[in-house]
A and B are shown apart, each in its own frame.
Chain A
Amino acid sequence: MSAAMLAQVTANGLSLAGLYALVAVGLTLVFGVMRILNFAHGEFVMIGAYLTYWLFALWGVDPLLSFALVLALMALLGALVQVTLVTRVLAAPHLNQILLTFGIAVTLQNLALLLWTGDLRAIKVWYASTALSVAGVSLSLGRTVGILIAATLTVGLYLLLFRTEYGRALRAVAQDPDAALVMGIPIQRVYVLAMAIGAAYAGAAGVVASVSMFTYPLLGFLFGLKAFCVVILGGLGSVFGAVLASLFLGLVESFVGTLIPQGGSWAEAISFIVLLLVLLVRPRGILGLE
């Protein structure tokens, strides 16, 4: 493998990793704060992608412009799901929590299928097809912007968590909800905040995905599978771990896809094998707490 090709494959992997990170940080944040794994998280990505697509297809709104609107709408949807549904199973057994969020996922997925059919939909904007070439490595401008967005939002989440009072509340509840309650933190509102942020980040991933690939009802399911693998590899509840794990999975998928004939079609199997290996060797992931 030549140096140029190595750089190209790495760039492709980074573009995937950026998307995975956007999906995974929200999922792991919600788990860290609420100890509930949201199986409908991938469906939030899918809805974000469809929102972007329809804003573009119906009113010609450029995804870069609709970005903020989609994020706000998704945060609202996340808060709504939290207040109306998830909050009711906070004290219920694991089994019920899993089945409830999985039921939400099934509902959203099939609602999308019914409303918008299974067609693959693409947004044709000039920057999606314009290639950016630097030192022999070429990446579409859309994907480059995607990487930048992912990096910015990830840093933004870090700042939110570690530099604001909201972040302090989120981290406090994640560490010990009872102690946080005693300190006067309104736990239920912190849960809503976590879910809103998680959904907004999933929505951001949806915007990037709608520009750099196709939008279809199963998009979220496949992103969800990757995100579960990433958050376990990174350590459930660890935002920084999720970022590292996204880099790892994105690069591995990119290299396997190039080095092995028809390797691209093995992507879902790779994440499954990574998942099993992590659970076998180091179940708490890279940065997870015991």
Chain B
Amino acid sequence: MSAAAARAGWTLVALAALVAPVPLGNYGLHLLVLVCMYVALSSSWNILTLAGQLTLGHAGFFGVGAYTSALLALRLGVPFWAGMGAGAVAAAALAGVIGLVCLRLRGVYLAIATLSLVEALKIVVLNVPDVTEGSIGITLSPVFAGARRPAYYVMLAVAALPVLATVWIKRSKLHVILGAIREDEGAAQMAGINTTAYKVFAFALSAAFAGLAGGFYPHYITYIVPDTAFSIGLSIEAQIMPILGGLYTVAGPVVGAVVLTLAGEYLRTRFGAANLLVYGVVMVLAILCLPGGLVGLARRWRAPFRVRRAEQPQEGVADVR
């Protein structure tokens, strides 16, 4: 895709996102807020994969943001926007600490640690009810007195930030550095790159955006319990969306989030809890058959026949810019 076409495409998406809430009713607006929240989660999860690492517990950082923000509002009356900032900082700090421990090492350690982290966090929140209200959860008064339009614009901004951050990474020196770490960490180290520092940075950035989204969520939904803040389902959704849309790309996580949030909503109303089963199957099939995701598929389809072979991503190492 040429740069001009891409810019035109993104401008259209931005315009559509800005005017979309005008004709919609309450349910439509709620769906749009959810779409934005999932764009935030999937784009932020995707940032870490740029460095060749992944978390299996993105909900942990969402939940830390949610609880930080909700507790600040409940105990100290902190306004939602300050709570969101605090949530992002708390999530980034947690990621920083875990990253410093796990990302010194190569391999699967971070994936394991983050999977386990979510359960550990849930247990901490459940077991210290004096501080966190435990399983009863926290109830907050609705932000903007329940008006959905302003809430949508806040969530839209929350969704735009990780997308813009990905664009920034792709345009800066970071693109090359993270790509080098992803392709061959040993070689990157030999080239004088402090790979641990860059991986931890990507992890903390990714967590901060999840924490920001989490920070707004309880103010919007007005209610937070450990099971929704630290849900396995949320972690799975944050992964499956970029995988389906196209890993390592800017558009992939956005496309995946829009498609799967709307499809997921349909599945939920139609089949109950079966949507996670569908996500599992989609995850397996996408990894095996669709390495570039929907975005990669569209690119391959658009490419002229002659260059199609050359543009085909090698299995799994798709760096489709």
Contact = CB atoms under 8 A, between A and B. Distances in A.
Given A106-B280, A110-B280, A221-B232, A96 B287 contact: yes
Contacts of B102: 276, 279
Contacts of B283: 99-100, 102-103, 106-107
Contacts of A98: 54, 56, 108, 111
A276 B123 contact: no
B245 interface: no
Interface residues of A, number: 45
A229 B277 contact: no
Interface in B266-300: 273-274, 276-277, 279-281, 283-284, 287-288, 291
A262 B291 CA distance: 46
B120 interface: yes
A100 B282 CA distance: 10
Contact of A93 (B52, B119, B236): B52
Contacts of B232: 221
A94 B52 contact: yes
Interface residues of B, number: 47
B279 A106 contact: yes
A268 B236 contact: no
Nearest to B271: A114
Given A114-B277, A225-B119, A279 B113 contact: yes
B269 to A, nearest CB: 16
A98 B124 CA distance: 27
Contacts of A96: 287, 291, 316
A13 to B, nearest CB: 20
B54 A268 contact: no
Given A98-B54, A110-B274, A103 B280 contact: yes
Interface of A: 37, 39, 85, 88-89, 91-96, 98-100, 102-111, 113-114, 221-222, 225, 228-229, 232, 262, 265-266, 268-269, 271-273, 275-276, 279-280, 283
Given A98-B108, A106-B280, A276-B101, 15 more contacts: A39-B111, A91-B315, A96-B291, A99-B54, A99-B283, A103-B281, A229-B116, A268-B119, A269-B124, A269-B127, A272-B116, A272-B120, A276-B98, A279-B109, A283-B104
